[in-house]
A = this chain, B = another copy of it.
Amino acid sequence: MPQDRPAIAEIIELLGRKWVMRIIWELRDQALSFRALQSACGDLSPSVLNDRLKRLDAAALVEKQPGEGYALTAMGRELLEVYRPLDRWARAWQARRR
């Protein structure tokens, strides 16, 4: 991995992968087990979910807590905060499109 690649590009590549944002979003309130997460995402394929969890773990955004399931790390929670305004924006966007 090139080290001088802009951070924003690196994170865009991760977040731009299908289901990644959704998984973070579903973990916003509580830790979820693998299967709970799977059904929260509408029965996402376990192979894809597993891949995403690995990537998110490698990026230190999500971690597995024994007995608890998967949860956001401190950085993951910070990222979620960055995304918080998106929810607001999305409503305005959807409203204006009708």
Which A residues are within 8 Å of any B CB, using their own CB? Answer: 6-12, 15-22, 25, 59-60, 75, 78-79, 82, 85-87, 89-97
Nearest CB to that of A74 among chain B residues?
B96
Contact of A15 among B21, B82, B97 (CB under 8 A): B21
Instruction: Give Cα A84 to B34, complex, Å.
Output: 32
Contact of A22 among B12, B22, B86 (CB under 8 A): B12
User: Given A82-B85, A89-B79, A93-B79, A20–B16 Cβ distance below 8 Å?
Assistant: yes
Question: Are the CB atoms of B22 and A19 closer together than 8 Å?
Answer: no
**Other A-B pairs, 8, CB within 8 Å; known A7-B95, A10-B94:** A8-B91, A10-B90, A11-B86, A11-B94, A16-B16, A59-B97, A78-B92, A79-B89
Distance of A79 from chain B, by nearest CB (Å): 6
Distance of A53 from chain B, by nearest CB (Å): 16
Residues of B within 8 A of A17 (CB): 16, 18
